[in-house]
Amino acid sequence: MSWAPSPDIAYLLSLQAVRDRSQIVLKAAREGRLHNFEYDEKRMTAVADFVISVIERDFGPDRFSSIPPHGRWQHFEVGDVPRVKSLLDQWTKDGCDKMELTRRLVDLFFVSVLLDAGAGDTWRFVEPGSGQVYNRSEGIAVASLYMFTSGEFSEENGAPKVDAAGLVNLTDETFSKGFQIAPENPLIGVSPRVTLLNSVGKSLLRLQDIVGPTGRPGNLVDYLTKLSGDANTIDYEVLWSTLQQILVPSWPADRTRIEDFPIGDAWPLKVLSTEAKGGREVDTIQPFHKLTQWLGYSLMVPFVRILGFEVINAQLGTGLPEYRNGGLFVDLGALKLKPEVAKAHTTSGQDLPAFPATSDTIVEWRALTVALLDELHKPISAHFKKLGVELSMAQMLEAGTWKGGRELAAKFRPHSKSSPILILGDGTLF
């Protein structure tokens, strides 16, 4: 497809639209006009206090400056194993300079993030050598790392890199072997995940001016550093628009289209339709672009840590609308499903309500999650500012809301550790 979005489409693909539209939903929540949820704003103080307690427990009293931004890097270090450092040390011994080190990390993070949608409650990955068992996001990270270092994402046999041909030719069989898939160890959405990477490979081949003739994601390093000139800065808006250009044509074909143009992780929402003036379809869409945002946050880190670059406009990134952040607000009582909605979607023998990932209920929940994370960041950043700490949204997500949401899930649902609302997805959304 040619990349020529109309102004309306370009807006829906922007980070600003994610935030703007979520604020419309929050206004409706405050006025009691939601379709699926009830909002108790008084509970937000308790949510802020809980998140602050998690951050202070893990980084207080004097390590707040060491809080990393939310990103994929930390997931590779699960079990306190410095896997990324070990890779960097080995690649340095092999003669890689800092540019190539950054390219390789961008390659790794690129595929690992795109595979990082919900794994389900049962899948596990047993790490070769150590025998350690990991699941969910960290398990996907470690499994993808081993596939990467084995060269499964490149047409160069055994090369620790990613290229378009490697992604286009990836098969369910190769992926299943790398992720240890078996009848007793199922992962949600094996074929959709593989198909997504196949499609991304085709998209990369069409963008050789950005990623080079082999369609290597790591060549984004050269593209972005050239644009920065001598400034040693990465503009997050430029990174964002570049990632959208690569990924928007790659998402599953059944996703929302406006004017026959794909708009990625963006969905019709009834409450926006109610609020829309003029009846335009474009005004009824709530965009999220969660995996792309997760990728953007993750790719910034190697530029900073390896190349010493500064990232500008990073504050444009929003809170991530996924089930750990969203579950935090449900488990602490700020959000509650309307009783009739919960009852209609809780089947016999099932304790928790379940909804398709693109249903109006889940889209409304995700929009509220984005808006409430913005609201939450205000008192939390103010609290830490009094301590002389500037806490970014990305740091709050990493050290507070995502971690806190996971801990609450383990506390309230120790068997499954699932979110309080079940999401029926295909492994390519969030």
- Cis, bond preceding 356 (omega within 30 deg of 0): no
Q: Which residues contact 49 (CB under 8 A, 6 or more apart)?
A: none
Instruction: Provide the pLDDT for residue 426.
Output: 82
Instruction: Provide the pLDDT for residue 1.
Output: 65
User: Could you tell me the pTM of the whole model?
Assistant: 0.95
CA 344 to CA 360: how far, in whole Å? 14
CA 31 to CA 52: how far, in whole Å? 28
Collect the ranges in the chain with pLDDT lower than 50.
Answer: none
